[in-house]
């Protein structure tokens, strides 16, 4: 089975703490909400301390058109993407010339030529490298992209695949959108990039005492009649966030049956899981995971830490959690579940094992 060798991450330079974000939201939304003070506690309850953005706070206090925001998206996404990929490959002393397939996942901007094509001019990739850009997966994108990397490496066991997930959610902010969904998004979303290296069975692993997890299985689930749960509406001045308050309830109701069916394919039960690598969509979503799966205390420690320090970076976030998991030591036989939810409404599950 293919193995995950390394993760590299990158974030932009501008940091904003949650108190500043709350004040920004008050200034932006108070004219539209007569009871704005009733909504602002969402910033306090988000379990977020700091987030990173592609532009300083003062930039967001002015109106910017979609074309300008998208130009910045392309520029910063390529910068962070290059940084994340270099860190990922350097961790196992490899270079871009060793990569056979580049998969790039992003939903927070548009680029043609795609981001992967642009990165070809920034990194030393082979001229004939396979490239797969994937758009529209939202918060599930990191896990879905990792599944596609696993499937490619399984089909071509002598190959190495890099998955890059890069999201600049802050640049989708529209000052004239005074909806509750946009207010909630302002309390939660942030920018970041993460790259993962996946190697097929026939690739020689780096000489190291470290255990590299193998990918045992992956499964996608899309629930019917759920298109309005999460996503974007494309409007004249950009991407309008769609964010249902029902997401935690959906997690509590739907996730456990999906996870149990997935584990059953490998002859496992929930009690066999020792590591949970979950996309931290928000504090309420993590609490819903814990309740639905009856998780042990501290099972979501890495997810909560990433949420606290970086916020929700959409598709890249679960890979930040994976990076922290890989930094730990694991006994042979340790089993982990990587999971993320996204537009569709959909779930992506991946089973990992350290041997």
78, 88, 139, 169: the active-site residue = 139
Contact status, residue 330 vs residue 3, Cβ threshold 8 Å:
no
d(CA 201, CA 198): 10
Contact status, residue 291 vs residue 353, Cβ threshold 8 Å:
no
- 153's tokens: 């490496």
- Specify whether 88 is catalytic: no
Matching residue, tokens 């680029």: 111
- 330's tokens: 């694991």
Query: What value, to the nearest 5°, has the Cα angle with vertex 29 and ends 23 and 33?
Result: 120
Contact status, residue 21 vs residue 43, Cβ threshold 8 Å:
yes
Question: Residue 43, SS3?
Answer: helix
Contact status, residue 338 vs residue 274, Cβ threshold 8 Å:
no
Question: Residue 165, SS3?
Answer: strand
Beta bridge partners of 168: 191
Matching residue, tokens 């993962």: 196
User: Which residues are part of the catalytic machinery?
Assistant: 139
């Amino acid at each position: 089975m293919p193995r995950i060798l390394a993760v590299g991450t990158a974030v932009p330079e501008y940091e904003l703490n949650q108190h500043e974000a709350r004040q920004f939201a008050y200034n932006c939304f108070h004219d539209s909400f007569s009871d704005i003070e009733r909504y602002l506690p969402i910033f306090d309850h988000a379990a977020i301390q700091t987030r990173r953005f592609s532009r300083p706070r003062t930039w967001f206090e002015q109106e910017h058109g979609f074309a300008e925001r998208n130009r910045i998206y392309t520029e910063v996404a390529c910068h962070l993407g290059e940084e994340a990929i270099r860190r990922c490959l350097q961790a196992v002393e490899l270079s871009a010339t060793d990569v056979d397939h580049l998969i790039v996942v992003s939903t927070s901007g548009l680029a043609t030529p795609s981001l992967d094509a642009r990165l070809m001019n920034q990194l030393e990739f082979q001229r004939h490298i396979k490239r797969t850009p994937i758009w529209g997966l939202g918060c599930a994108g990191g896990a879905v992209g990792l599944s596609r990397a696993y499937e490619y490496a399984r089909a071509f066991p002598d190959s190495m695949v890099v998955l890059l997930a890069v999201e600049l959610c802050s640049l989708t902010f529209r000052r004239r959108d005074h909806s509750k969904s946009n207010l909630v998004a302002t309390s939660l979303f942030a920018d970041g990039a993460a790259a993962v290296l996946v190697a097929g069975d026939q690739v020689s692993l780096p000489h190291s005492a470290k255990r590299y997890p193998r990918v045992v299985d992956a499964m996608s689930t899309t629930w019917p009649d759920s298109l309005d749960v999460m996503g974007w509406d494309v409007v004249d001045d950009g991407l309008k966030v769609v964010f249902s308050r029902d997401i935690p309830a959906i997690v509590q109701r739907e996730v456990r049956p999906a996870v149990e069916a997935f584990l059953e394919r490998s002859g496992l039960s929930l009690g066999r899981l020792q590591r949970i690598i979950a996309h931290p969509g928000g504090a309420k979503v993590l609490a819903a995971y814990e309740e639905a799966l009856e998780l042990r205390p501290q099972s979501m420690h890495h997810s909560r830490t990433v949420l606290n320090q970086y916020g929700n970076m959409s598709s890249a976030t679960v890979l930040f959690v994976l990076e922290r998991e890989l930094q730990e030591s694991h006994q042979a036989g340790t089993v982990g579940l990587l999971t993320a939810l996204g537009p569709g409404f959909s779930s992506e599950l991946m089973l990992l094992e350290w041997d």
